[in-house]
A and B are shown apart, each in its own frame.
Chain A
Amino acid sequence: MSSATDTAPVIPGAQAHSHGPGSPVPVQTRSARFRSTDPTAFPAVTGREVDWKLTPVDRIRDLIDGELDGSPITTTVTEAAGVTTEWVGTEDARIGSAGTPEDRASANAWASTAKALVVTVSSEERVEVTIDRTGADHAPRASHLVINAKPNARGLVVIDNRGSARLSENVEIVVEDGAELTVVSLQEWDDESVHLSAQFARIDKSATLNHFVVSLGGSIVRVNPSAALAGEGATGKLYGLYFSDAGQHLEQQVFVHHIAPHTVSDVLYKGALNGKGARTVWIGDVLIGRDATGTDSYEANRNLVLSDGTRADSIPNLEIETGDIAGAGHASATGRFDDEQLFYLRSRGISEEESRRLVVLGFLLEIVQKIGQESLEERLIAAVERELEAVESI
């Protein structure tokens, strides 16, 4: 790995900070970003905005500005005791309970959606639910999904995205007091698919959300999870795994907002890039608010570059508005193979090719190992192995 930094807390205003002359980026705290459910309230997207400048906006104009089919997308949800599934109108009180759009594509989806799917987990025994959204075509669509874990509920919810799609969506995740919820957003779309997903989580008192973004398939996949640690003692673990092939754009903008005291967050995204034009973007914002005393946070992004002609952007940002915190750090590293790891494996007789496979697989499996569901872990290991088979130098 080329570089890694561990940074001590920085008090805003204590250091000179500049976005450069003529920069369109106003200096503002992350939570002050404009929000609206009305797409026309946002200025036209130019591609120079802080949240769009690394995205190929010209290839997704229809999702940002165009008309979207907001009728319910084909969805199958596994039935389980303590889990209810319903389609509700947009006037339902649960819509907007976790967040509000921060960009025009998200607002366009919000305004276009006729009905939202609400999956409610109330079981205190851990349940597993799969929301299967195998898409059939590339017509531009909008959707809205709410996942709600009731107080003290325990569950794993997998959003299983396969097939064809051209989708802009909002996902709201509400984790009520004492609940422990794992959500895995799995993108294994076909090569032509485009998927923009704004995901908003609200984590209440003593609740835990384990959130995973796994992006492997699709032409452009942009999943932006925001987690508000709203209740005292809330925990948010946001993990991600992505593997970008030639010409593929995989993006994630992560925002963790520590609002309440004694909240904990851990962010780790790991990605691999292979092939000409393989592109990844990771922006990680952590904001520790004025009242969020005694919080502990860490965010890191690591990218492994497997060939020439790739580009990985990795931008960690940390804002701290209180001096009384337990810890805050961030790290970012993008590099090629660790030669010492390869030497160690090869010195035991393992071929160079096999050693590289083990190192890459191991690098990415660190995320998979955190999911804690065996059949899903096996499926993801197999999927990553398929990605590796396409790598020539491996």
Chain B
Amino acid sequence: MATLTIKDLHVSIETDQGPKPILRGVDLTINQGEIHAIMGPNGSGKSTLAYTIAGHPRYTVDSGSIELDGENVLEMSVDERAKAGLFLAMQYPVEIPGVTVSNFLRTAKTALDGEAPPVRTWIKDLRGSMDAMQMDKTFAERNVNEGFSGGEKKRHEIVQLELLKPKFAVLDETDSGLDVDALKVVSEGVNRVKESTGLGVLLITHYTRILRYITPDFVHVFVDGKIAEEGGPELADRLEDEGYVRYQQATA
């Protein structure tokens, strides 16, 4: 069983006024098969944590560590992290003109496995996953995310999650902008992948709504770049009632 360990992580971004610290000492351990919800108000650093795990060049790690089964993730390039088993479902998936979904997924699968997937099973897997996510098969021949609605982009992210089979997935506000039907489809997709592959999930969200469909094992409240409180699913219920006011008053 794989483990993702984050220790005393400090991260900053470059601004016109010089470096600005965003994460101020994050400690987090996720085992495969576990679902961890990271909740927090806007600007608390949730997305920074997601992008830092994935290796986005905009974020500078000042100190601390991220390890995957003892391997130093911070020394890996972006694609090496994916090959090690990390996946980021993005809040704003990028449009790539001229690259079809089918070509993109096949190229990614080939890169991760080191060999091209067998044609017959691959097409079956692709169709099956798109069907399950209620994406019409014509999407396979459309350019990546080009002209997709917000909900279609999110469902496409989960199709990728299912086909690429990572060990850990970071879902960055996957619930934002989804209506309740799309939210159910996306949540069922995540649960199905977790069931079949033993995925570990870091579910980043502002709202408790998605937690009705994806039950977290642990809830971490993120405030001002670090974890302010941790608990089980009951903590999410309390946040639903009280909001983040309590934490914001504490830091003020």
Contacts and interface: CB of A to CB of B under 8 A. Distances in A.
A338 B56 CA distance: 13
Contact of B111 (A344, A351, A365): A351
A7 interface: no
Interface stretch (B75-83, B179-187, B209-217): B75-83
Interface in A348-380: 348-352, 354-355, 358-359, 361-366, 369
A352 B79 CA distance: 8
B57 interface: yes
B79 A358 contact: no
B99 A344 contact: no
Interface residues of B, number: 28
A346 interface: yes
Contact of B83 (A344, A349, A363, A365): A349
A333 interface: no
B79 A350 contact: yes
Nearest to B95: A341
B174 to A, nearest CB: 15
10 contacts: A338-B94, A344-B94, A344-B96, A346-B77, A348-B79, A349-B83, A349-B164, A362-B99, A365-B99, A366-B98
Main secondary structure of the interface of A (DSSP, over half): helix
B111 A362 contact: no
A214 to B, nearest CB: 15
B98 A341 contact: no
Contacts of B74: none
Interface residues of A, number: 25
B97 A347 contact: no
B135 interface: no
B96 A362 contact: yes
B179 to A, nearest CB: 24
Interface string B139-176: 00001000000000000000010001000000000000
**Interface pairs A-B: 7 shortest CB-CB:** A362-B98, A349-B82, A365-B98, A348-B108, A346-B78, A362-B99, A349-B112
A304 to B, nearest CB: 11
Contact of B97 (A349, A352, A362): A362
B68 interface: no
B88 A354 contact: no
B46 to A, nearest CB: 17
Given A344-B90, A349-B82, A366 B97 contact: yes
Contacts of A346: 77-79, 82
B82 A348 contact: yes
A363 B77 contact: no
Nearest to B103: A358
A224 B56 CA distance: 43
A349 B79 contact: yes
B195 to A, nearest CB: 22
Contacts of B88: 347
Interface of B: 54-57, 77-79, 81-83, 87-88, 90, 93-94, 96-99, 103-104, 107-108, 111-112, 143, 160, 164
Contacts of B103: 358
Nearest to B166: A349
B79 A344 contact: no
A80 B71 CA distance: 65
B234 to A, nearest CB: 33
A338 B98 CA distance: 14
A87 interface: no
A389 interface: no
A354 B111 contact: yes
A207 B119 CA distance: 43
B98 A363 contact: yes
A369 to B, nearest CB: 7
B97 A363 contact: yes
A52 interface: no
Contact of B104 (A345, A351, A363, A366): A345
B97 A358 contact: no
Interface in A300-353: 338-341, 343-352
Given A346-B79, A358-B103, 7 more contacts: A344-B94, A347-B78, A347-B88, A348-B79, A352-B77, A358-B104, A362-B96
A358 B56 CA distance: 19
A340 B91 CA distance: 13
Contacts of B107: 350, 354, 358
A354 B90 CA distance: 21
Nearest to B86: A347
Contacts of B77: 346, 352
B112 A341 contact: no
Most chain A CB within a 10 A radius of its CB, from B87, B103, B107, B112: B107
A352 B82 CA distance: 12
Contacts of B99: 358-359, 361-362, 365
A134 B83 CA distance: 48
A362 B103 CA distance: 11
Contacts of B108: 345, 348-350
A340 B94 contact: yes
